[in-house]
Structure 1
């Protein structure tokens, strides 16, 4: 159900109509203006080298440029995620919008939303990407969109203030230029990475800072230039890695790898497991020494690490031990029960902290939209909120209700 089947028909107009219907069915598109924009813009014109089956797949990205190692550094984002972010942005006719991270297609969607009286500027640090976006926009008839070559970290002050700023690469921080470039009633939609976990967050101006009640699961290629994240990553063995951007977290690679060779211990919370994206955000921000544990399919198939680590799972680490989330079927907790797998001499202590958070989340915060996310620019205040993460340009503070 995540792909559009184009085997019976390869007419891009028909595929686009199918895509829009599927995006509506999955609640990615919830408004008529966004539906009209997706219907109007010929997505395939922005990826002429790609097969239609890929271009019109709801959940797959389209590669645009790779680095010397063959890793994607620029992609056309999945249609589902683009729709979600545009719904978060709530772009109105006549608005002035800045897009940070060019590809062309998303800028064309925004141009449809702002109409002839509005303005769209799209900026990228990569000359190849800007030139490609310009060609595709002109080819599809969106010559009104302005393309700019610059580091997105600095924004485009010449066109400010903007009613909306939409960032289409994973950002580790929110630079002052983005807040300064927003209108007083403006909105910033950004895939913000906090402790290795990324969410598309719709921030509104809140005094000198930003506040949000809208956050959605998102995966993006990372920002380049000055906004590049400085994450630490350690390979414990082939197919197993841990990563974090928290300098306080100990990474004793040899000891953590040895811990995986010790018997696994399972601990069960008696608490319901569901809404994994909400739970993941809560755990990432509340664990005292957080990292993300990644494991390959071969490692999971061997039984060494649980399948929860395939896309990265919040882990609690010490110098010589590691604990992470798992689940099992349990009708008494509504279908599934949260649990913890732990390895190493501190397994029980780590599991105890982890279990307390699993129970607290299930008891008090088990619903969508329970978090309020704020960004406080400038130096950290003397009294930090309970759940806060220091960034270069400010503090991310999160509370749950």
Structure 2
């Protein structure tokens, strides 16, 4: 009885935290998703995890590769709730989930009701075996579990009213739209110049157009849809590594970059500030849109603690690089609840590159801050330029992604 009471208490706290957190951001959780979150017991899908971990608002890693990197997880509940609201499931919908774990499929089953269908698939047999077992134990044995490469979907039960992808994708393969109803909706965490956003896409003829986008992070796709980003090492001292993560064919390795950090640091401050809990993810999107040399600076905690670099976020801070020089965004405290954006740069052209990055931060502040963000339109590969929507175009094997700012 004590364990049951504790489970119910922690479950209630988890749901309350998700609902309160999303409301504070101005994007409340729908009653349908909130009800599903209350009905499905998350601890049943992470057997062996302590209750505190099972009901924490955090991802639970369920499998790692030989290097210790996560290859499968039960996603963070707040991200799950966010994407389910983007998906807008209706009673009776036929739904395909690409990237399995069990928990999200159970929530989808609650949302679509007894007249609907949920199919969940994964490339990893260990993952599908675990999903099958946990779904059955939780009373959702009517969810269909498929062991196959999600790049190709599964047409047997299609077409689908809704498709949701719960792994990080760099492209949208043809199968996902071929198996989607003409009025269907696709929600996918799509990587764009290193930034991952959960896009809610609806069909307009051959195109897919964003209805909403949200910040998220997922383990990357495996199989045919796998796509690796490049790393340009800036500082190779063991334990204090600093690098640029590059998802941009414009940027190539410049041997001089590994000497840039040995040069004096240039800095410039923008006059643009942000409050402590104020989101500014649209700024990252703007910089990726406006700067052809965009990349993301990454650094170990030890490198940041030692003052090698001082990024706004050590796992991926906007940066640009050119001719043996790199510049990246930073922050400094300027008031009780205010931090000012600035730019640090190293290399022979540090002052000029810092000024370029700082100027685009000001452009975002003056022209786009607090306004509707970009629209993402996904075109088939081979679509002529004159049929695109303008703005930034990101070419992938299967698609041309057009990013246009209002």
Fold match, TM over 0.5?
A: yes
2:74 corresponds in structure 1 to 76
1:357 corresponds in structure 2 to 360
Determine the C-alpha separation between the residues in 2 that align with 1:336 and 1:87: 32
| 1:387 pairs with 2:392 | yes
RMSD: 2.0
Determine the C-alpha separation between the residues in 2 that align with 1:31 and 1:275: 21
Give how far 1:296 is off.
Answer: 1.1
Give how far 1:119 is off.
Answer: 0.4
2:53 corresponds in structure 1 to 54
1:65 corresponds in structure 2 to 63
C-alpha change, 1:368 and 1:9, in structure 2 (3 Å) is farther
2:288 corresponds in structure 1 to 284
Give how far 1:369 is off.
Answer: 4.1
Determine the C-alpha separation between the residues in 1 that align with 2:158 and 2:248: 34
TM-score of the superposition, structure 2-length normalised?
A: 0.92
Structure 1 residue ranges, 4+ long, deviating more than 6 angstroms after superposition: 7-10
1:341 paired residue among 326, 331, 344:
344
Determine the C-alpha separation between the residues in 2 that align with 1:393 and 1:117: 34
2:7 corresponds in structure 1 to 12
2:123 paired residue among 122, 125, 133:
125
Report SS of the residue matched to 2:168: coil
Determine the C-alpha separation between the residues in 2 that align with 1:318 and 1:160: 47
Unaligned residue ranges in structure 1 (runs of 5+)? 1-6
Cα pair 1:272 1:362 within 8 Å, conserved = no
| 1:34 pairs with 2:33 | yes
Cα pair 2:391 2:405 within 8 Å, conserved = no
Determine the C-alpha separation between the residues in 2 that align with 1:149 and 1:9: 33
| 1:243 pairs with 2:241 | no
1:233 paired residue among 196, 208, 231:
231
Determine the C-alpha separation between the residues in 2 that align with 1:388 and 1:272: 30
Report SS of the residue matched to 2:101: coil
Give how far 1:213 is off.
Answer: 3.5
Determine the C-alpha separation between the residues in 2 that align with 1:108 and 1:56: 16
Determine the C-alpha separation between the residues in 2 that align with 1:366 and 1:10: 46
Unaligned residue ranges in structure 2 (runs of 5+)? none
Determine the C-alpha separation between the residues in 1 that align with 2:372 and 2:53: 32
Report SS of the residue matched to 1:11: helix
Per-residue Cα deviation, 1:61-110 (whole angstroms, up to 9, x for no partner): 11111111111100110111101110111111110110000101100000
Alignment of 1:369-384 (within 5 A): 369-383=372-386
Cα pair 2:33 2:84 within 8 Å, conserved = yes
Determine the C-alpha separation between the residues in 2 that align with 1:366 and 1:352: 20
How many corresponding residue pairs? Answer: 392
TM-score of the superposition, structure 1-length normalised?
A: 0.93
| 1:181 pairs with 2:185 | no
